[in-house]
Structure 1
């Protein structure tokens, strides 16, 4: 009797199914240091306990995307171990801040299923929730992934496609208790730009680039305990290449966005996201952003800015997203729509 598992395939999912993911993960300052070594992040509120305290927090929280990767990684053995591709995100809310010493666990509910016309795979929608050691929700988001079928001849489930919100309503954003940007130190943060300095429709070239190394992306993916075969096993693809974890590209692009958006301090929601094209070792990631919306919040001096962050292998100054056919341009790697907090 075998004690190992090949993971779930498309025909193993049912609408309403709830999955409790192994293994709980305690995040420490070790993860903080590793995150900084893997991604050139410099946002002040995550980098300095003193800066965080000047903004009303008890100390510097972990980067929001580090929390996302940890929660996401827990889901991989049960949701995307046999994935063809991770397709998108929606309705993501960071409902609490995670600090060194906190332990995260994750559960997912299957909310949508749709077999592909080729009969070899299907799309699975799940709503995943990460909670801390006190059972408090820290992150909740929807993602959908294309998963292989174990048996192409097996009957597919009834199609259920969830209706998802285009964007998180600003009124639903969760701001940290006590957050106050009234005495925000722009000099220490690195740039003088506040919410009023950004215009809806404005596009920002983040200028810099990072070439991805093979060992580096596998180290990052192991850090988040993401076990998807396509990231490590070169035999999983016909071209013999290891696919870069999309979250790795996400964190690289977010770090690059510091140049021009240094005061977009905290991600509080992910409205939508798509991994537009595959990324491989040797690709050089660059980024640009577009301002989609902005609003004030009820916290002193704190505003929210909605941004489209685009990671690309091409020239970011071209601000290319899609072609005339409406499909993503081949050089576009990531299209991420998110809300961040910024001093007004």
Structure 2
């Protein structure tokens, strides 16, 4: 009997299948320190207990993307170990803060399947939930990933493409209990801009850039216990290159967005996203944002801002797609999310 796990292939999935992912992860301040070492992350609410307490929280939670990476990493051995590429996201919500000492685990339900016309790969749609040690769901999201077939003669499954919402409605965003921005300290946060200072349609060039190194991306991907072969094994791709984990690009771009969006403190919704082109070591990541919407919340002094975050590896700021409607080759990431900001 085989003891090793080759991972699931496209023909191994069925709609309605529930995957209980292994290896729960207890996260502490070490994860924060490594996260802030890997990315230029400096949003004040995730950096200072004192600042978080002034905003109504008991102390500073772990960065929202730490929760995302840990929950995502658990899913890889069952969902994307044999992936060609992670394609997109939808219906993502952060439902509760993750505190140092919490233990996270993940489970996913297969909600869609579609074999590609080449007969060699297919797209698997899953809805993933991350739970803490109290069985509280701390975040949930949908994603779809292109996965290889092992048996090319395996019959194509019935095509099921889930109908996913284009946007998480603002009234379905979940805010941390007690969050209050009425006493928000803009000086300590780093910028004076509040929700009313941003206009729908406004675009912001975040100016700064970071060149991705091979070692740091592999350190980051191991940190999140992401075992996808394309990130580590240079023989797995025909071009002999290790693919940079898409979440690494997300966190890099989110951190770079501090310059211009320092007060977009907490990410609470993931409306959609696409890893438009592959990222490799040596690429220099830059970012720009577009304000898509604004909304009120029930928390005192707290508003929600909907942002498009675009990561690039060169090219002109604010360039996204060509005349053919396809992403320009220098665009790495197109992410649509909600964040909380003082009004």
Corresponding position of 2:339: 340
Corresponding position of 1:228: 228
Question: In 1, Cα distance between the equivalents of 2:107 and 2:2?
Answer: 26
Matched, 1:81 2:81: yes
Corresponding position of 1:131: 131
Corresponding position of 1:273: 273
Matched, 1:62 2:65: no
Matched, 1:329 2:328: yes
Query: How many angstroms does 1:314 deviate by?
Result: 1.5
Query: How many angstroms does 1:316 deviate by?
Result: 5.0
Query: How many angstroms does 1:315 deviate by?
Result: 3.7
Gaps spanning 5+ residues in structure 2: where? none
> Which structure 2 residues correspond to residues 145-184 of structure 1 after superposition, within 5 A?
145-184=145-184
Corresponding position of 2:112: 112
TM-score using structure 1 length:
0.99
Check the 8 A contact 1:10/1:124 in 2, yes or no.
yes
Check the 8 A contact 1:110/1:125 in 2, yes or no.
yes
Query: How many angstroms does 1:283 deviate by?
Result: 0.2
Question: In 2, Cα distance between the equivalents of 1:2 and 1:157?
Answer: 26
Partner of 1:128: helix, strand, or coil?
A: strand
Question: In 1, Cα distance between the equivalents of 2:298 and 2:127?
Answer: 28
Partner of 1:236: helix, strand, or coil?
A: coil
TM-score using structure 2 length:
0.99
Query: How many angstroms does 1:244 deviate by?
Result: 0.1
Partner of 2:100: helix, strand, or coil?
A: coil
Question: In 1, Cα distance between the equivalents of 2:154 and 2:271?
Answer: 35
Deviations 1:307-337 (A, max 9, x none): 00000011453x0111110000000000000
Q: How many residues align?
A: 343
Query: How many angstroms does 1:2 deviate by?
Result: 1.9
Question: In 2, Cα distance between the equivalents of 1:82 and 1:2?
Answer: 18
Deviations 1:277-316 (A, max 9, x none): 0000000000000000001111110000000000001145
Corresponding position of 1:290: 290
Corresponding position of 1:320: 319
Question: In 1, Cα distance between the equivalents of 2:316 and 2:77?
Answer: 35
Instruction: From the superposition, tell whether residues 316 and 139 of structure 1 become closer, same or farther in structure 2 (CA, over 3 Å).
Output: farther
Corresponding position of 2:219: 219
Corresponding position of 2:307: 307
Question: In 2, Cα distance between the equivalents of 1:238 and 1:332?
Answer: 22
Question: In 1, Cα distance between the equivalents of 2:315 and 2:195?
Answer: 26
The ranges of structure 1 where at least 4 consecutive aligned residues each deviate by more than 6 angstroms after the TM superposition are none
Matched, 1:197 2:202: no
Deviations 1:99-148 (A, max 9, x none): 10000010000000000000001000000000000000000100000000
Query: How many angstroms does 1:190 deviate by?
Result: 0.0
Question: In 2, Cα distance between the equivalents of 1:116 and 1:54?
Answer: 52
Query: How many angstroms does 1:205 deviate by?
Result: 0.1
